[in-house]
Chains A and B, each alone.
Chain A
Amino acid sequence: MNSTGFPLLSLIVFLPLLGAVLVLLLGRRSHAGIRAVALAVTLIVLGLSLAAAALFRPAEAGIQLAEQAPWIPSLGISYRLGVDGFSLFLLPLTALLFVIAVLASWKPVGSDEASRSAVQSYFFWLLLLETGVLGVFAALDLVLFYVFWEAMLIPMYFLIGRWGGERRAYATMKFFIYTMAGSALMLVAILALGYFAYQSTGAWTFDWQTLRELKLAWPAPLWLFAMFGLAFAVKVPVFPFHTWLPDAYVEAPTPVTVLLAGVLSKMGVYGFVRFGLQLFPEGLRAAAPWLAVLAIIGILYASLSALMQKDVKRVIAYSSVAHLSLVVLGVVVANAQSLAGVVMQMVSHGIYVAALFLIVGMLEERRGTRLIAEFGGLWKPAPLLGVCFLIAMLGAVGLPGLNGFVGEFLILVGVFQGVRVYAVLAALGMILGAWYMLWTFQRIMQGPVEARSAGAADMRGMDLLVMVPLLVLIIVLGVFPNLILVPAGATINALVSQAAAVAWLP
């Protein structure tokens, strides 16, 4: 129960679960009813998460809207939820992208008849996934966090595996095993941490707040961080743990790719801050040079890979790796500018990458292919699609005035203050980013009209409905970044002073 006496976060987290049960109770054939329930539930969750943001007191750095209840007292495991300025915006972002995903699933999803008609199970898993993701961002008990973190794999497994593309069975197995392997050691680290608490206080606890105050003897922070960090590095993903990503992103159906890139990738970055920087600052500091190098390799390698892809979905997938590697670099440098950039970029990237993957979906829908070479001059028959693609793409390359610019710029400034050579290399990645994005756009939208594109339909109805909110946010957050930076300010300052206390990078 929180100070307001109303379990707002619990409601946000578990309402989708309730929706999933409702979907099961509706008849298999009542597709319209199922969609309506899913849309209503995701919209209510969006409203509630905005209410949570409104209730949040920006001047305070600590956890707010906290709730707690005993769960498994014999092991010190409890049910604890809460948000701070860092995680606050991840809830509305998640809620919004799920609304978008539901709308984008209005037309049957899937590559064969059996999966297209399985509307009920599709929305069941989608709503279950929402509970999992929101739970990850809100959980403040380590075991509860792990439960959400792992449980989320189950709906994802089905969403990719049943409604994905040609190689969906392979992609979903790879995704599942890879992420599960990454987080296996995290469970041991969580148990070890609970045991350390038991040693020093005489009682097992997995409460994040209590564990923060635990004094750990070196080198425990380092190996604990390494065990947690592996899970997050796979999830982001950080080079060289990224190989599951192109397969999963490309094989997943468009709405699911939107969620994978938009919110699930943020879970890794969120973990690096919440359980890396905030729990084991010494561990993160010791690992920082290595992580920074991996992040920079990730930026350059993924950018170069994006440049060479023939499939537009793979271009966006690799661009996502590059952009998130920059965010990880921002976490590692951990100064005021870079962390502000991280908070900003997590939301921004979620929005523009969602828009980009939706556009890829629309391109594929119109032409039945994603090969860039098969397109050309699409602007002529579909100018609205072209404009939307342009805005989203410019947001992604960081055009000033659009949302991608603020986060990238802040991170680069922060990194420059930390280690200059990192900033130079990272900026090189940004240049490559502009190159592959603009080049992709040019090959698809401009030039002579490809004969088979001539009759392509423009965006209308539902296409516009899913796209417009994202484009509006790309512009609004680009012009008014303080909408996010001000409420997160106090938390960012607290993070910076915590990082500074352990003498961060030179």
Chain B
Amino acid sequence: MNIADVQIVSILPQTLLLAAALVVFLADLVWKDRKGIGLLALAGVLATFVATVVMLAGPGVPTFQHMAAADRFALVISLVMSAAAVLAVLVSLDYIVRVDLPAGEYYGLLLLAASGMMFLGAATHLMTLFLSLEILSIALYALAGIRTTDIRAGEAALKYFLLGAFASAFLLYGMALLYGATGTTSLAGIAAAVPSVQTDPMLIAGLALLLIGFAFKVAAVPFHMWTPDVYQGAPSSVTAFMSVGAKAAGFAALVRVLVAVFPTLYAWWVWPVGVLAVLTMTWGNLAALAQGNVKRMLAYSSIAHAGYILVGVAAGEAGVSGVLFYLMAYALMNIGAFAVLIALERAEEDAAGVELERMRGLFHRRPWLAAAMTVFMFSLAGMPPLAGFFGKLYVFSAAVRSGLLVLAIIGVINSVISAYYYLRVVARMALAAPAEEAEPARCPALTIGTGIAAVGTVLLGIYPTWLLNLVQGTLAVLFGG
């Protein structure tokens, strides 16, 4: 095989991340400067971001050996992922020194996980699908438990690993059944074979198992039990990245499989996905209402947001661009919210996350930090004119278009419920008298990360068109030729 035929350029962003991960691992052997290694990782993710933007702007590139696509869908996912990774590295630079985490492992695993997520978004073959899912999952298991001195982190990692392995087994079993029913492992091949074997029970069972596997990965109720503990136990910067990246990757694969491979079985999968959406939104929001710990509250809120995105998935073809837009909006506002928590977090007493009471009077102590948090909270609650509102507008309009009016109604009612707990954070910051507290951390990188997220959340709300144009019509090229 000629090297020119390998078409390595179509997996350029993923490759860049892998290379950066290797560089970070190696540098860690000889260089003990944690900030320096962080900056290396930052350079890697920035390069990936730039490569993704260039590829999005340029002419299309072919698929990688029919294993991974570089279509617009994959590239938008890569854009979300690399933006999330840039923000995650920015907020980590100072944080991992403060809470004393090993830099080489931390950044290396982070980059590996990001690369796995991007591969998952691009996968057009059951093999790549599974391998990339494992790359990202194993990296995240290790990251969740990276704080080896904390028993809570150990519990989180173990729980995540056990349930994640369980989910992988479901996926693998489903894939085996799909292969059995259609005789091929390429998504395009399966898609071509589906119409002729539509009612084959093996195919339906395979699809069902696949759906359950993904439901675990994106933390859909009732497959969410691991989420709150893992999100709370993992270091905040990891949670920020995981809640956005793993979710986006899982949804990317789910959408590609459901919408592009099984469009003819829409009537079969719309119901389970719709029911999952309702359960996930409602349970996530109701449970978040009861939380006094902001980190745990954001964990439940992340479940709720998976529910809103599932509404877009249930809308089928009409919902694809909405799902992509929502993922981008969620990446900005959720990592932003975690960035503020990271600024407030102190190494010793906040191992389990920042308590709500710690936010008291933040507006008096750090007005800009509090203002950024306010933007994130209102955006997460879906208030216009912020990114979160247009994410919801987009997925709900897709639902209405697909005749799922009920899902849209349940979605907006859930938004109202969620407003209550997001507002509680704002109320503590703005309306309560300041508590006697240590000064929140000041670090240029953290400030830049928070600032980018806040400005992005506002801009994506005021002028969403650029991203909407990008995500429009991604479906037409879902297999990348």
Contacts and interface: CB of A to CB of B under 8 A. Distances in A.
Given A162-B430, A184-B415, A195 B400 contact: yes
B460 to A, nearest CB: 12
Contacts of B401: 195, 198
Nearest to A70: B465
Contact of A151 (B383, B412, B465): B383
B226 to A, nearest CB: 31
A39 to B, nearest CB: 24
Interface string A373-397: 0000000000000000000000000
A173 interface: yes
A147 B463 CA distance: 13
B430 A158 contact: yes
B436 to A, nearest CB: 15
Given A151-B385, A157-B423, A184-B412, A191 B396 contact: yes
Contact of B408 (A74, A143, A162, A191): A191
B102 interface: no
B433 interface: yes
Given A184-B416, A188-B408, A188-B409, A173 B427 contact: yes
A168 B383 contact: no
B291 interface: no
Nearest to A72: B465
A56 interface: no
B161 interface: no
B472 A74 contact: yes
A204 B390 CA distance: 16
Contact of B430 (A73, A146, A151, A161): A161
A176 interface: yes
B427 A146 contact: no
Contact of B384 (A146, A158, A169): A146
B53 interface: no
A188 B423 contact: no
A198 B396 CA distance: 15
A173 B426 CA distance: 11
B243 interface: no
A207 to B, nearest CB: 15
B393 A187 contact: yes
Contacts of B384: 146-147, 150-151
Count class of interface residues, chain B: 35 or more
A147 B432 CA distance: 28
A180 B321 CA distance: 26
A451 B419 CA distance: 48
Contacts of B464: 72
A181 interface: yes
Contacts of B396: 187-188, 191
Interface residues of A, number: 35
Interface in B274-321: 321
Contacts of A158: 430
Nearest to B415: A184
Given A74-B465, A151-B384, A198-B401, A180 B416 contact: yes
Interface string B378-403: 10000111000110011011001100
A185 interface: yes
A192 B413 contact: no
A185 B412 contact: yes
Contact of A185 (B409, B430, B433): B409
Contacts of A172: 427, 431
Dominant secondary structure at the B interface: helix
A192 B384 CA distance: 19
Contacts of A71: 465
A173 B423 contact: yes
A150 B383 contact: yes
A153 B415 CA distance: 15
A32 interface: no
Nearest to B413: A184
B468 interface: yes
Q: Which of A114, A146, A147, A187 has the most B CB atoms < 10 Å from its CB? A: A187
Interface string B154-171: 000000000000000000
Given A188-B396, A194-B397, A154 B472 contact: no
Looking at B384, B401, B427, B468, the one whose CB has the most chain A CB atoms below 10 A away is B384
B364 interface: yes
A180 B419 contact: yes
Nearest to B408: A188
Given A153-B383, A176-B423, A184-B415, A169 B431 contact: yes
Contacts of A184: 412-413, 415-416
A319 B397 CA distance: 40
A326 to B, nearest CB: 30
A486 interface: no
B26 to A, nearest CB: 45
29 contacts: A72-B390, A72-B465, A74-B465, A75-B393, A75-B468, A146-B384, A150-B383, A150-B389, A151-B384, A151-B385, A157-B423, A161-B431, A176-B423, A177-B420, A180-B419, A181-B413, A181-B416, A184-B413, A184-B416, A187-B396, A188-B396, A188-B405, A188-B408, A191-B393, A191-B400, A195-B397, A195-B400, A195-B401, A198-B401
Given A75-B394, A191-B397, 16 more contacts: A74-B321, A75-B468, A114-B433, A147-B385, A151-B384, A162-B431, A173-B420, A176-B423, A180-B416, A187-B412, A188-B412, A191-B393, A191-B400, A194-B397, A195-B397, A204-B397
